[in-house]
Amino acid sequence: MINKQNFFTRFFGGIRIQLALWNALFFLLIITILAGYFYFGLRRTLYKGAAFFLGHETQEVASMLKRQPFGLELVQWIDKELSERPEYSSSYQILDSKRKVISYAGGGGFEDVLKRLDALQVKKNSEMFFDVKDPKGKRYYVAAYVSADDRGQTVNYIFIGSYLDVIHEKLQIYLDKLFWMLPNLFLMAVIFGWVLAWFALRPVRRITKKMEAITVNKLDERLTLKGSGDDFDRLASTFNTMLARIQNSYERISQFTSDASHELKTPIAVMKNQIEVTLGKKRELAEYQDVLVSQLEELERLSQLIESMLFLARVDNGQVKLHAERVSLGKLLDELLDFFEPLHVSKNVQLAQKLSDEIVVRGDKTLLRQLLFNLVDNAINYNRPGGKVCIEAAPEGHQVVMKISDTGRGIAAEHLDKIFDRFYRVDPSRSSGITNYGLGLSVCKAIVSAHEGTIHVESQLEQGTVFTVSLPF
Ligand code: ADP
């Protein structure tokens, strides 16, 4: 059941709402930039319009003043002209050359313009624009024209100004609209983004649902791919690959457990039976001793088996730590050969050792001894009477390549890729005479892998087998 807090976290922490919010924020940013751009564009256009009108009027007045003396007719003309564009609610002032006001209408504020004109290099017979404040502090936009005669003497000062209220009103309306529109747009973008994300993430929900249904008993289930090769298809395909690996490992572990139980069950049943039979009646001391000796041998084999299983389990869990040192393969083999002496003599197998003491690898001595032991033990055990085993090694590049070859029964091609599997024996009935469980080569492979080396086998039936091991220096 989803509780309130969970729902909240799932909703707001969920990818859908995050996508929607990011999308909306981005959208808002773009809209704000665009709105700003249009705001300043509109402002510039409106000001340009006002400047054009005010400037044009000052020019007209100046040229009329040059043509005719100032009089009522001109005042009427100006009033008519200005009243044609009431949105600028213009006012004006005309001064003569001595700066005496000869006509004016509307508000003031032109004194400030006059002061600023004096402070500037005034270009005569052309209009200039000023942003000034009237005595009440209200902004005032003024076109000023200093009209001069042919000799450059100032004849008149003409000022036409406007508070540009209409412009400011228009701009304010724009800003107000924007102010109300932006949050609404943001909300719409969030909702739209959320719906879009909901649709876009449908495959994820499908994958999640399917994944939830996969249990250990259903590891063979796979997600169906749409075949479009999009991100979700790739996700599903990666998941399928991972599932295949898990299934493979799980099956191997199950197989290993069942093989291990089987291998342990048989000798324990035999031992139990032997003890029951022995205890069935009173026996001589020597008989009891014989039984105990045979039980001890069996227990030793079992202990070896358990040790190998434990080692492989530790390798699987990554718990094996190498105590790396420089190990001379020649010396290591010499120690082992003494041990093998009785075996190869009894089997009538010749051992040829072509390893010099200088052949050195970097690795864990105990594990390398186990590796050599398993390979040489197999080479002797699976040999024929009068056969040979040869052990040689040589440096190759950054590695030492060691070969253990024998002239034994060989391994058929169909078994070659399986002999490194746990509990795999080519012919269990023939192996049973030899006390082996099919773990020796799995242990060898694990040891070589732990040393970042490689091991492979070549074999010909009834000719012999060669195991090649490459180990880094
Ligand atoms: P086992 O403990 O049975 O020897 P291994 O894992 O060491 O198990 O070997 C797996 C199987 O590979 C053996 O059962 C045997 O049939 C085959 N094998 C291993 N080494 C040799 C060899 N040198 N010659 C022929 N067969 C071999």
Give the distance from CA 62 to its chain's centroid: 74
pLDDT at residue 177 is higher than 60: yes
Distance CA 1, CA 403 (A): 63
**Domain closes at, from 153, 171, 189:** 171
**Confidence bin at 103 (pLDDT 50/70/90):** confident
pLDDT for 458 equals 97
Least confident of 5-19, 55-69, 91-105, 453-467: 5-19
Distance CA 356, CA 351 (A): 15
Range 371-380 average pLDDT:
95
Range 240-267 average pLDDT:
89
- Kindly state if the Cβ of 438 falls inside 6 Å of ligand 1: yes
Q: Is residue 374 part of a domain?
A: yes
Encode pLDDT of 136-159 as tens digits: 777 788 999 999 988 888 888 999
Q: Is residue 212 part of a domain?
A: no
Ligand 1 centroid to Cα of residue 374, in Å, is 9
pLDDT for 440 equals 94
pLDDT for 27 equals 93
Distance CA 73, CA 60 (A): 14
**Confidence bin at 281 (pLDDT 50/70/90):** very high
pLDDT for 433 equals 45
**Residues 260 and 338 occupy one common structural domain:** no
Distance CA 460, CA 462 (A): 6
**Residues 299 and 361 occupy one common structural domain:** no
**Residues 345 and 310 occupy one common structural domain:** no
- Residue 360 in contact with residue 432, Cβ under 8 Å? no
**Domain closes at, from 314, 334, 357:** 314
Q: Is residue 381 part of a domain?
A: yes
Q: Which has more confidence, 5 or 342?
A: 342
pLDDT at residue 309 is higher than 70: yes
Looking at the CA of residue 408, tell me the nearest atom of ligand 1. Answer: 24
pLDDT at residue 1 is higher than 80: no
Pocket test for ligand 1, best of 377, 382, 403 (most atoms within 8 A of CB): 382
pLDDT for 33 equals 95
Ligand 1 centroid to Cα of residue 362, in Å, is 26
**Residues 418 and 365 occupy one common structural domain:** yes
pLDDT at residue 85 is higher than 90: no
Looking at the CA of residue 437, tell me the nearest atom of ligand 1. Answer: 2
**Residues 291 and 378 occupy one common structural domain:** no
**Residues 154 and 61 occupy one common structural domain:** yes
- Kindly state if the Cβ of 127 falls inside 6 Å of ligand 1: no
Distance CA 452, CA 320 (A): 13
**Residues 289 and 151 occupy one common structural domain:** no
- Kindly state if the Cβ of 97 falls inside 6 Å of ligand 1: no
Number of structural domains in the chain: 3
Q: Is residue 219 part of a domain?
A: no
- Kindly state if the Cβ of 464 falls inside 6 Å of ligand 1: no
Find residue 454's DSSP bridge partners: 470
Exposed (0-12), middle (13-18) or buried (19+): which is 416, by Cβ within 10 Å? middle
**Residues 121 and 89 occupy one common structural domain:** yes
**Confidence bin at 6 (pLDDT 50/70/90):** low
| DSSP string computed for 176-236 | HHHHHHHHHHHHHHHHHHHHHHHHHTHHHHHHHHHHHH--GGGTT--PPP-SS--HHHHHH
Ligand 1 centroid to Cα of residue 405, in Å, is 13
Distance CA 409, CA 259 (A): 26
Distance CA 467, CA 349 (A): 17
**Residues 292 and 398 occupy one common structural domain:** no
- Kindly state if the Cβ of 145 falls inside 6 Å of ligand 1: no
- Residue 391 in contact with residue 413, Cβ under 8 Å? no
Ligand 1 centroid to Cα of residue 125, in Å, is 113
Mean pLDDT taken over the chain: 88
- Kindly state if the Cβ of 416 falls inside 6 Å of ligand 1: no
pLDDT for 29 equals 95
| Residue 75: CATH number of its domain | 3.30.450.20
- Kindly state if the Cβ of 384 falls inside 6 Å of ligand 1: no
Q: Which two tokens stand for residue 66?
A: 């040059």
Residue with tokens 């029964």, as numbered in its chain: 409
**Residues 257 and 359 occupy one common structural domain:** no
Encode pLDDT of 313-328 as tens digits: 888 888 888 999 999 9
Encode pLDDT of 207-231 as tens digits: 888 888 888 888 888 888 888 888 8
Distance CA 150, CA 152 (A): 5
Encode pLDDT of 392-451 as tens digits: 999 998 899 999 999 999 999 999 999 999 999 888 665 544 457 899 999 999 999 999
**Residues 337 and 457 occupy one common structural domain:** yes
CA dihedral 34, 37, 41, 44 (to 10 degrees): 150
Exposed (0-12), middle (13-18) or buried (19+): which is 426, by Cβ within 10 Å? middle
Specify the DSSP class assigned to residue 86.
Answer: G
**Confidence bin at 168 (pLDDT 50/70/90):** confident
Question: What ranges in 68-147 are assigned the alpha helix state H?
Answer: 72-83, 110-119
Q: Which has more confidence, 283 or 317?
A: 283
pLDDT for 201 equals 86
Q: How many CB atoms lie within 10 A of CB 357?
A: 12
Distance CA 126, CA 144 (A): 8
Best-predicted range by mean pLDDT (67-71, 74-78, 242-246): 242-246
- Kindly state if the Cβ of 256 falls inside 6 Å of ligand 1: no
- Kindly state if the Cβ of 440 falls inside 6 Å of ligand 1: yes
Q: Which two tokens stand for residue 464?
A: 């012999």
Q: Which domain range does residue 90 map to?
A: 34-171
Angle, vertex CA 86, rays to CA 81 and CA 90, nearest 5:
70
Q: Which two tokens stand for residue 377?
A: 């033990």
Residue with tokens 């105590």, as numbered in its chain: 323
- Kindly state if the Cβ of 454 falls inside 6 Å of ligand 1: no
| Residue 352: CATH number of its domain | 3.30.565.10
Residue with tokens 């395909």, as numbered in its chain: 237
**Residues 161 and 38 occupy one common structural domain:** yes
